[in-house]
Amino acid sequence: MNNLINENGIESMDVRLGDTVVASDGSIGKIVKFCGCEECLSRGFKEVCFQWNSGGECWITSYDKNAGFKLYYQIGEYRWPEHVDQEALANRILSAEGEITSANNKKKNAIRLLAIINGLIDIGEED
């Protein structure tokens, strides 16, 4: 268990290994370890290491704590909805949907070309 202090310095937060971390851009990870160095122990804030679901590790540092965890929507059971730019996320979703459609079209065209090359369909034939 680790105690984090919110941006107002009022409330302590208990987080544990395995707790979910959600960045304000929607990236998700799990807490995997806490720093136990002398500096962290003396200031009463153990920096938190989490692993992104997509791979790679990241640290929630004392800088993040002092900045009010602005890069995070959720740490453990604590949430800050005001840290999420909903318009930017909506634009990312639209962009990703466009990329998926484009990738699906490229895949479909490649499959069609292979079928033409292998003589399974004629060039003018519809799928």
pLDDT at 59: 95
Task: Residue 49: name the closest of 58, 41, 40 by CA.
Answer: 58
List per-residue pLDDT tens for the chain, 127 residues long: 455 544 444 346 789 999 999 998 888 999 999 998 998 888 878 899 999 998 899 999 988 988 889 999 999 999 898 988 888 888 888 888 888 889 989 999 888 888 888 888 877 766 5
Give CA separation, 87 vs 12, 24, 94, 97, in Å. 31, 12, 11, 15
**Three-class secondary structure of residue 101 per DSSP:** helix
Full set of structural domains in the chain with CATH: 2-83 (2.30.30), 85-127 (no CATH)
How far is it, in rounded angstroms, from Cα 105 to Cα 16? 44
Residues of the chain by 3-state class (helix, strand, coil), percent to 5: 35, 25, 35
Structure tokens at 64: 């993040």
**Three-class secondary structure of residue 108 per DSSP:** helix
